[in-house]
Amino acid sequence: MQRGNQTSVSHFILVGLHHPPQLGVPLFLTFLVIYALTVSGNGLIILTVLVDTQLHRPMYWFLCHLSLLDMTISSAIVPKMLAGFLLDSRIISFGGCVIQLFTFHFLGCSECFLYTLMAYDRFLAICKPLHYATIMTRSVCNSLAIGTWLGGTLHSLFQTSFIFRLPFCGPNRVDYFFCDIPAMLRLACADTTINELITFVDIGFLALTCFVLILTSYGYIVAAILRIRSVDGRRNAFSTCAAHLTVVIVYYAPCTFIYLRPGSQEPLDGVVAVFYTVITPLLNPIIYTLRNKEMKATLWRLGGCKVVKPR
């Protein structure tokens, strides 16, 4: 098809999740509660780490970054979804679609790098405890954190530019609840084989590399933990690492299902996407607070300070 015969699309219509009309309000309320809990839970983690000086350590500094990423990922997707449920407002401008896709992949890739960084931090803390303080200095932590955001920016710029260099001449109905690579490829008025290959190689390579690095770190960590003689020491180490590994698996499994099949049109894709865009950001604060004694102790102290009233 020649580009000169094509009419550019000025906006898209987000079809959203397929559901009976009578479920619109219940779904709106459900996702509204999830979104509120996600923002408040991750915000509470950030506040807790900032308030308690005992938590001013690299592990919790990276946890703050993770909470910030989770809040912003959810905020980039869920509000538009809620508007679709209640107000039937499903139109998104072309520019808004570009911004949404860029923002989601920028934050998602940054989170992927951050999980790898958190695994490396645990590797140093458990396997090289005598050198940990000299390696993980404040300046190093800041540089590594900035590196995750920079890497996410470059990745997202690359993916977004390759998607929206394609012609979009109609139809403009996005069979998804947000602008994402697989859904946008299906609307392009051109051959998307190269884009699908680039998506598979780029995201697949990044995800696989990060996942292998994480597993390698935890391989060394498990070996080191098994050498710890103290039962309490082994339990504390396993508890912290189990929380991180659980979050990693919950994050990587659905992402792999979606992005290693960029040409897929399965109805299940939308449900899986809800899991890593809506549910995972909610699970992260729950997992990290329930499995981390220091976080729980600090939260209890903060809660105690709030409820104590002078007589």
Rounded Cα–Cα distance for residues 83 and 97 (Å):
15
Strands 173-174 and 91-93: unpaired
- Residue 304, domain member (yes or no): no
- Residue 61, domain member (yes or no): yes
**Quick check: 276 pLDDT over 80?**
yes
- Residue 5, domain member (yes or no): no
Strands 91-93 and 11-14: antiparallel
What is the reported pLDDT for 120?
A: 92
**Quick check: 306 pLDDT over 60?**
no
Enclosing domain of residue 47: 11-297
Please tell me the total count of domains within the chain.
1
What is the reported pLDDT for 95?
A: 92
**Quick check: 58 pLDDT over 80?**
yes
**Quick check: 292 pLDDT over 80?**
no
Count of beta carbons in the 10 Å neighbourhood of residue 67: 25
**Per-residue confidence band for 262, with pLDDT thresholds at 50, 70 and 90:** low
- Residue 311, domain member (yes or no): no
Q: What is the CATH number of the domain that holds 272?
A: 1.20.1070.10
What is the reported pLDDT for 263?
A: 59
Rounded Cα–Cα distance for residues 193 and 195 (Å):
5
Q: By C-alpha distance, which of 115, 68, 70, 76 is closest to 96?
A: 76
Instruction: Kindly state the average pLDDT of the residues 22-30.
Output: 88
pLDDT for 80-97, tens place per residue?
988 888 776 788 999 999
CA separation (Å) from 275 to 27, 223, 250?
15, 32, 9
**Per-residue confidence band for 250, with pLDDT thresholds at 50, 70 and 90:** confident
Please tell me the least confidently modeled range out of 51-55, 74-78, 169-173, 268-272: 268-272
CA separation (Å) from 294 to 114, 116, 174, 210?
21, 22, 45, 27
Higher pLDDT, 288 or 129: 129
**Quick check: 7 pLDDT over 70?**
no
- Residue 2, domain member (yes or no): no
Residue 173: strand pairing partners:
13
What is the reported pLDDT for 241?
A: 74
Q: 148 and 109 in contact (C-beta within 8 Å)?
A: no
- Residue 28, domain member (yes or no): yes
pLDDT for 187-225, tens place per residue?
888 888 888 888 888 888 888 899 899 989 988 888 888
